[in-house]
């Protein structure tokens, strides 16, 4: 009998210990889903394979609901978002994905393995994050290297999609663009203003970053038929030039 009691205590303690390993922010997320998701949908979600825990219908269905109602407009939104930010997860899409994957494992009485989920996302995003950090560093260096009334040359990539020639900026980690004078835009201009805009990541209002910009008066263009994004510009016009875009500035 004594051994039986000890065994029960060990099993009870182990069960509680396993529960405590799930962070309170995830536990609250599970409780929120239990309260706000229909039972038949929860049962359906539980029965699918883990590889299907965030297909398109969940990402834009219950996933969208999580992002709007749990991560943005909930009494515990700030603490949940901070929890993910501390894990270096800053985008709401990845937060909702982790919540759904963890909930699916929880429903099926499996370990959440939060660290494994987070590490996989961080590793996947590393090339993008490294590229963004390089661009931010370069933007600050350019900002500090030039003064108002300095003349600079800017090489910009141009997209010819649907025969509309327009300047674009390639998103990270695409950093292999090479200037082609026959296709791309070259602007010589004079800096009329320098300014720093403080902004936040779209899904992380707690993390503010500095965006370095020039205002540039166009002195010369190699191709007047190219739009600066959606705007038709010509010599004498002034444009705003974000320095962390995929441009070459000299």
Give the pLDDT mean for 236-242.
96
- The answer to whether 185 and 167 have CB atoms below 8 angstroms apart is yes
Q: Quickly state the pLDDT bin for 14 (edges 50, 70, 90).
A: very low
- The predicted model scores a pTM of 0.76
Percentage of the chain modeled with pLDDT above 70 = 86
Query: CB under 8 Å to 18, separation ≥6 — which residues?
Result: 111
* pLDDT (0 to 100) of residue 21: 78
Q: Given a cut of 80, is residue 4 above it in pLDDT? A: no
Give the pLDDT mean for 206-230.
90
Span of 31-35, 99-103, 157-161, 166-170 with lowest mean pLDDT: 157-161
Beta strands 231-232; 227-228: pairing state: antiparallel
Span of 99-108, 145-154, 170-179 with lowest mean pLDDT: 170-179
Q: Given a cut of 50, is residue 159 above it in pLDDT? A: yes
**Beta-sheet strand order (sheet of 158-159):** 158-159, 166-167, 227-228, 231-232
Q: Which tens digit of pLDDT belongs to each residue from 124-143?
A: 999 998 998 999 999 999 99
Q: Quickly state the pLDDT bin for 174 (edges 50, 70, 90).
A: confident
Q: Given a cut of 70, is residue 196 above it in pLDDT? A: yes
């Amino acid at each position: 009998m004594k051994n039986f009691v000890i065994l029960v205590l060990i099993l009870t303690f182990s069960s509680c210990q396993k529960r405590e390993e799930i962070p309170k922010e995830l536990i609250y997320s599970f409780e929120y889903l239990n309260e706000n998701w229909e039972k038949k949908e929860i049962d359906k979600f539980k029965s699918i394979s883990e590889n299907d825990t965030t297909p398109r219908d969940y990402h834009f269905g219950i996933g969208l609901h999580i992002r709007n109602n749990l991560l943005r407009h909930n009494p515990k939104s700030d603490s949940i978002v901070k929890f993910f930010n501390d894990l270096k997860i800053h985008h709401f899409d990845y937060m909702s994905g982790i919540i759904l994957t963890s909930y699916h494992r929880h429903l099926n009485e499996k370990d959440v393995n939060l660290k494994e989920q987070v590490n996989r996302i961080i590793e996947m995003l590393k090339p993008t994050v490294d590229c963004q950090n390089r661009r931010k560093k370069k933007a600050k260096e350019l900002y500090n290297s030039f003064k108002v009334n300095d003349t600079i040359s800017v090489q910009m990539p141009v997209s010819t999609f649907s025969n509309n020639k327009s300047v674009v900026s390639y998103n990270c980690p695409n950093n292999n663009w090479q200037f082609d004078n026959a296709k791309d835009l070259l602007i010589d201009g004079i800096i009329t203003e320098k300014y720093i805009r403080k902004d936040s990541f779209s899904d992380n209002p707690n993390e503010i970053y500095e965006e370095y910009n020039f205002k540039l008066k166009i002195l010369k263009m190699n191709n007047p038929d190219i739009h600066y994004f959606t705007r038709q510009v010509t010599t004498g016009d002034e444009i705003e030039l974000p320095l962390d875009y995929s441009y070459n500035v000299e």
